[in-house]
Chain A
């Protein structure tokens, strides 16, 4: 199976060609303003480097920050109606109540509250009122809004109301885009609703972007299927991605961590991805990034996505190195993509971390003579500082007392040498394009998050039911049934609820069905 993985980042578009589990070629090229021509260039370059025919490519997997950036920069967002089902409950806080004002205005602030919703145990808060929904539909149609986000209270427990409301809107407004919160998020009404609304406002853009990716791939002569990677490191096919663009949020760090696991052959580790300006640090558990437990903000909006628990520090290959009264200061200022002109070894005027790595003899890049004047004492102190910064991150990311290895990837990997916090450091081959590798090897997943009454069902049966639902979801997403594994099981007892209510979250993943 020949796969191409592409990671479209803010600075670089990286691409790799893989034959089965072997990396044939990897290239880095500049991300272009229109994104698409950068993808065309990356595809052309990586095919040339691999010596592979375009017609031999089975799958193309793309990781992109395009949709995250659209929300962060408030551009290309569609007018969106946010419909919540739950009255009389939830009336105290309308949809988008805690959004930044500019983002709210850029999608029109069209909020509707209607009857519906469920209690935690599945009972109905109030029955769906079809006439009420038809009235809302007429208002939405009159305003010319083409995308609707529907959120019903406790829809992760029962999504029936969201589906029925969606069907009513589709009948009343033919061709309207519907996003249902139960397809996207989990318990936590405002955060799930926020994600659904963000998804809805990206629907026009996603149609456009997915079509552009499709054209870029066709232009390169590739006839294989293509996928986008989502925030949990698994795949969605192009038509699914078009409906759920919000699921691409944070796929970048996830891809580099997954790529690191694959390239090193290690599935439990701490991953340090050192770029030009920042280092992202996170922890791998069974080959997947550990998920964040607290609300994550995107563009100023709280969400409860399955986001990797990654944090960044201002240390990269382009970080400024300055001597101050308080000792050596490294970053957070960086020359970024201008490293090729501004770093000392490339004839520039700025002392960067890469210059120090070259002076220390750890990398052969640029002109080493231009850093031969640096004193061994300075070099030692800078290296000690970098080491201390990374050790601090590694300590924060350690999620178990076991002596896990540290996998170092990204273009700035030359900064690291030797163990961190006494942990073995692994620098795998192709470390510079780990993110594109992570995209190429992405699997497909199914996840469920439900509240079970253990008093009725018993813990074993509840877990069994949750696992089966997760497996079914993975198969529906395109996983080969015999490759599916349960990778995560979490059960959290819920205080104050009767019947030993427990929230169970299960995730299953499998290899992409080759057929």
Chain B
């Protein structure tokens, strides 16, 4: 394995988790616990290198791993620590290969950190990229699964030492179903790894550079706060995001359907958007944004709510009446916008049959004019 990329430092963990929370688009779980766990390992001497995607040899094996379970369990039943590591070791054994790097399934939220922890324990690097470029709620919603990664062998490991290997899965939907059931039996918090992937496949199918992207977003937020600058403006400038709306939440509706928290946030415009109304559909993550009745951004593009004053990324469960927020959008990577990907992660897949995916506007002119 070539020595390229950079070593993660302890002081990188806070900005990395903040950037990961932003890329979580309202979901993905809180990275705070994972950040502390990675920090503990680093303080004990663990070193993790972030490896650029193109430095990955074609014949190297890469393990994709992350936590699977319920966010509320994640804040109460903290990990034993080796869950993901054991799941990775199990898929290695089942596949008969030795992995030489870890990669994140989803950079958005807590699962940005899990592979870093497993990598620290295994003494391996973590690849600078992931399988979503954001957060999504289900196992099959990664670029890897979408572009043909095998659904087995996969493995799930708990805090107690139980490891379940999914030897033969018909497809990724079955894997999601069995993995979800096993995770509940394990207390709704477990480590999960899918079949090791070859370097050439990972290079072709990963959303590149997302570990560094999360780190830089977090650094931008912290730096803007330190300099008492407008955090939202700095984030928009640094990421090339589009500022779609600034407003105050006037209503939040939540309900539970099929194990997923669905809801809607209604916003009344302020600043450049005074007089306008917006609506955000939520299912763990932010799914669709309408401004004055027009859908201006939708999954799989990233819709992100930032607290207007602090730029703090807001998860969907802490949205409440009266919050003043900026809604920004980031275009998702092209790999997530192909017809094949949209079948799995497009608006129709999330229960909006009336919507056909339209990429969000790249340009930032609307936001600039509004603010002027």
Contact = CB atoms under 8 A, between A and B. Distances in A.
Interface of A: 86-93, 97-98, 117, 119-120, 123, 125-126, 153-154, 187-190, 293-294, 395-401, 451, 492-498, 500-503
A293 B259 CA distance: 23
B188 A493 contact: no
Q: Is the interface of A mostly helix, strand, loop or mixed?
A: loop
A294 B318 contact: yes
Contact of B76 (A98, A189, A495): A189
Interface of B: 33, 36-37, 40, 69-73, 75-81, 137, 159-161, 180, 184, 187-188, 250, 254-256, 259-261, 284, 317-318, 320-322, 324
A189 B78 contact: yes
B262 to A, nearest CB: 9
Nearest to B258: A500
26 contacts: A88-B80, A89-B77, A90-B80, A92-B40, A92-B78, A92-B80, A92-B81, A119-B77, A120-B73, A120-B77, A120-B187, A125-B187, A153-B78, A189-B77, A189-B78, A190-B78, A395-B324, A399-B320, A400-B322, A493-B255, A495-B70, A495-B261, A496-B71, A498-B259, A500-B256, A503-B72
Nearest to B309: A396
B180 to A, nearest CB: 7
A86 B284 contact: no
Contacts of B77: 86, 89-90, 117, 119-120, 125, 153-154, 189
A451 B78 CA distance: 17
Nearest to A156: B76
A496 B321 contact: no
A90 to B, nearest CB: 4
Contact of B187 (A123, A399, A495): A123
Contact of A187 (B69, B72, B250): B72
A126 B160 contact: yes
A488 B59 CA distance: 59
B283 to A, nearest CB: 9
A153 to B, nearest CB: 5
Contacts of A492: 254, 317
B161 A88 contact: yes
Nearest to A503: B72
Contacts of B317: 492
Nearest to B263: A493
A50 B79 CA distance: 59
Nearest to B79: A92
Contacts of A86: 77-78
Given A92-B40, A153-B78, A190-B78, 10 more contacts: A92-B37, A93-B37, A120-B73, A120-B76, A125-B160, A189-B75, A190-B75, A495-B284, A500-B259, A503-B72
B310 to A, nearest CB: 11
Nearest to A186: B76
A188 B75 contact: yes
Contacts of A396: 322, 324
A396 B270 CA distance: 13
